[in-house]
């Protein structure tokens, strides 16, 4: 039986991933970890763990006999541009702590399977925008994207050097309704619906024709769990797998919303920091 630790469980992905894992493995075998108060997690098994505290993370893993870790704690693209040093520290040191713990446990006969999310933010202006190949130019322009590119290299290194079973997906923008926008560039596709429901004009920080790839949350969760459930010998990419859903731009999304809420309005205030 797997014992699973989800770090960053109160985030957009973590919140719904925990529910899906509980449905698959049972509530006793899934531990939600975050720095938020216990009250946010209801009846879930919860541990107040900061991923930057490697001793606390290692103790939690040992105490529960954890066999899989999902390391989701991060500062996303928009937030990261406001506090780049904090974003780099959390995004990189958090991953490094988990990889080191996995290395040490593997050497002591207690292997740990690790999932860490990468992102399309690792790509950049010279990456092919259509039918992006698995191996493509990566020239990210944000601290978040740079941390994802560096994180992919770390994952490859810990697999090839130490045999750490780490797996990753380059998520596109994730569309969900259960969690509020979390500070990512593609989060406009979530915030726009909240504004429409409130009867407000949505001030979009992207241009009307900025087309970005997206995926619906249930599809992202399914891809994540299927990757983690795959036998190790079937996982051939140890940086991060591309996944795709659909692509659209703010104008197209606004037009679709207006079919249901004709009074909805949108303004465009492009921000280069996005």
Q: What is the band of 180 on the pLDDT scale with cuts at 50, 70, 90?
A: confident
SS3 annotation, 203-230: EECCCCCCCEEEEEHHHHHHHHHHHHHC
Predicted local confidence at residue 146, as pLDDT: 98
Q: What is the band of 184 on the pLDDT scale with cuts at 50, 70, 90?
A: confident
Give just the sign of the alpha carbon dihedral 45, 144, 249, 170.
negative
Predicted local confidence at residue 274, as pLDDT: 52
In 3D, which of 2, 7, 122 has the Cα closest to residue 53?
A: 7
User: Based on the structure, what is the number of domains in the chain?
Assistant: 1
In 3D, which of 7, 4, 33 has the Cα closest to residue 21?
A: 4
**In this structure, is residue 194 part of a structural domain?**
no
**In this structure, is residue 193 part of a structural domain?**
no
Single pTM value for the model: 0.91
Answer whether 166's CB lies under 8 Å from 111's CB.
no
Predicted local confidence at residue 44, as pLDDT: 78
Q: What is the band of 83 on the pLDDT scale with cuts at 50, 70, 90?
A: very high
Asked whether residue 77 carries a pLDDT value surpassing 70, the answer given is yes
pLDDT tens-digit series, residues 205-253: 899 999 989 999 999 999 999 999 999 999 999 999 999 899 999 999 9
Predicted local confidence at residue 86, as pLDDT: 98
Q: What is the band of 272 on the pLDDT scale with cuts at 50, 70, 90?
A: low
**In this structure, is residue 122 part of a structural domain?**
yes
Q: What is the band of 30 on the pLDDT scale with cuts at 50, 70, 90?
A: very high
**In this structure, is residue 43 part of a structural domain?**
yes
Asked whether residue 23 carries a pLDDT value surpassing 90, the answer given is yes
The residues annotated with a catalytic role in the active site are 144
CA 88 to chain CA mean position, Å: 15
**In this structure, is residue 207 part of a structural domain?**
no
Strands (E), the chain: 4-7, 30-34, 45-48, 68-71, 113-115, 118-119, 166-167, 169-171, 173-175, 202-204, 212-216, 241-242, 246-248, 266-268
**In this structure, is residue 187 part of a structural domain?**
no
80: CATH:
3.40.50.720
What backbone phi and psi angles, to 5 degrees, belong to 263? -85, -5
pLDDT tens-digit series, residues 114-127: 999 999 999 999 99
Predicted local confidence at residue 37, as pLDDT: 76
- Tokens of residue 9, six digits: 């469980």
**In this structure, is residue 131 part of a structural domain?**
yes
pLDDT tens-digit series, residues 36-69: 877 666 767 999 999 999 999 999 999 999 999 9
CA angle 177, 183, 186 (to 5 degrees): 65
Range of the domain at 149: 4-172+216-244
pLDDT tens-digit series, residues 12-22: 899 999 999 99
Separation of alpha carbons 93 and 118, rounded Å: 15
Residues in the chain: 274
Predicted local confidence at residue 170, as pLDDT: 98
- Tokens of residue 99, six digits: 């990889």
**In this structure, is residue 156 part of a structural domain?**
yes
The percent of residues in the chain predicted with pLDDT above 90, rounded, is: 84
Separation of alpha carbons 81 and 273, rounded Å: 7
The SS3 of residue 74 is: coil
Q: For residue 103, what are the contacts with CB-CB under 8 A and spacing of at least 6?
A: 158, 162, 164
């Amino acid at each position: 039986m797997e014992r699973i630790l989800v770090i960053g469980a109160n985030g957009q992905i973590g919140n719904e991933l925990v529910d899906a894992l509980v449905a698959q493995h049972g509530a006793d075998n899934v531990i939600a970890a975050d720095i938020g108060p216990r009250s946010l997690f209801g009846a879930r098994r919860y541990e107040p763990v900061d991923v930057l505290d490697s001793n606390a993370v290692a103790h939690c893993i040992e105490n529960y006999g954890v066999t899989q870790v999902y390391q989701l704690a991060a500062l996303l693209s928009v937030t990261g541009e406001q506090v780049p040093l904090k974003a780099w520290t959390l995004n990189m040191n958090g991953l490094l702590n988990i990889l080191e713990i996995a290395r040490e446990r593997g050497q002591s006969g207690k292997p740990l399977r690790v999932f860490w999310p990468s992102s399309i933010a690792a790509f950049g202006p010279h990456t092919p925008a259509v039918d992006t190949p698995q191996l493509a130019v990566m020239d990210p322009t944000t601290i978040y994207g740079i941390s994802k590119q560096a994180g992919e290299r770390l994952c490859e290194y810990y697999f090839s050097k130490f045999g750490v079973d780490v797996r990753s997906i380059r998520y596109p923008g994730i569309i969900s309704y259960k969690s509020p926008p979390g500070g990512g560039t593609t989060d406009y596709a979530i915030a726009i619906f909240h504004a429409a429901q409130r009867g407000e004009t949505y001030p979009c920080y992207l241009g009307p024709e900025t087309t970005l790839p997206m995926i619906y949350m249930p599809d992202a969760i399914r891809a994540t769990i299927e990757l983690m459930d795959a036998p190790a010998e079937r996982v051939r990419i140890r940086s991060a797998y591309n996944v795709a859903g659909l692509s659209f731009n703010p104008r197209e999304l606004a037009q679709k919303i207006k079919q249901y809420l004709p009074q909805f309005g949108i303004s465009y205030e492009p921000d280069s920091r996005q």
